[in-house]
Structure 1
Amino acid sequence: MCWRLRRKINLPFENRFALQFGIATKSSKYWLSTLGQTQTYWLFTGSDNCMTLPKYQIQQLGTSDYEAYLTFLDVAYACRFFSSGKNGDFQLRVFITRPKDYTDVYYNLGFGVWDSEKHTVDDVVELKNGDFQQILATIASISLDFLEANPKASLYAEGSTPARTRLYQREITRHRHLIPENLQIYGLIRDKDVGFIEFQPGINFDAFLLSLK
């Protein structure tokens, strides 16, 4: 089972990985933090072949930039990070919301490029900055952190276009073996009102729902 931890301690040499979010093994529950100023890494274990996925550092934000939405939305969490690649640096915003005065445990996961002049998030623009997997790894980390802090919550995620939703699905399938065992992913099928079913490769889903088991 995977455990995501934040504490910093000194480790034996053979376990001296520079990580911000680590996974406990049977012999150790802690990993050393951090690597670099612009990115950190996840280490995923559970098989003989370990691998890392880079992610960006994030900065948690308040709700001041979203005042126009606060009349109809509750912003449960908001943060930003910066995509840095072949086309430059771009500020991305991630926000987790639900309708105002809605008391159920379902939240919406939204993210996109921040327009500082309009104070809006553009979730349609394609950056093509060469760091797509790093962006998704960062968003996945944020989602897991939120669910661990709110274990009864569920996160709804849908691409801004059907093509983008399929792209997210391909990435989930590609890295499915890295998903923590305590994370459950469902896919939505709107056709014939099928609804949410457990995520399976090879099925075209319209949206996704994430929760902890």
Structure 2
Amino acid sequence: MRTIFVAIALTFILVVTGCTPDKALDFGPTGEISTPPEDQMSRDIMRDFAGRDFFLANNDHEAHVRLSDWKPGRGIVMPYWLGVNPLYPGFLRPTVGHLYVMSQSTLVRPLSNNEYLIRAGSKLFKSDTIFEATHTHYTDTGGMLPTVVRFVGTRVITVPKDAPATGTITEKVPVLREISMPMHTTPDQDLTGYAKFEAVK
């Protein structure tokens, strides 16, 4: 019920202010970065989580993550990609170079060079996004397990429209570079609907 109320209130704000999703989510000028983060904590996360899975606590507003070999009680808090209210002007706007936990994403189709077109975002809005995989290779489409990523910039792409539509669409999209492996799962977890993947050797 609370989620519905938030969605209705948010829609009203957008209508009144004339703010549409494409205007609210301007991810910045075209271009990608490859320089390391400026802050030490982000550099440590990139080093410690590189190519490793992780545990994610049950929290809808912020990502509480930890590695399996960390001592009990140790963990870090990271923002989710696009946060919880991404359309509200200026609120939780992604910053190029920052790290996020990407959750509730869907892999739409593979592209070239182990890149994928995905739809990533919050419960209220998902944006077409390029996912640069560095540790995983996805073998089909579907849901994606939460993954630690870095927002490295934007790119203009031309891709086929979703069926049954025909033709192509050209759009400027954010680029997320994979840092970790997908979230840790156990054999008893139901992963129906999730895209299968394998580690890049």
Range class of TM-score, shorter chain: under 0.3
Higher RCO (CA-CA < 8 Å; seq separation 6+): 2
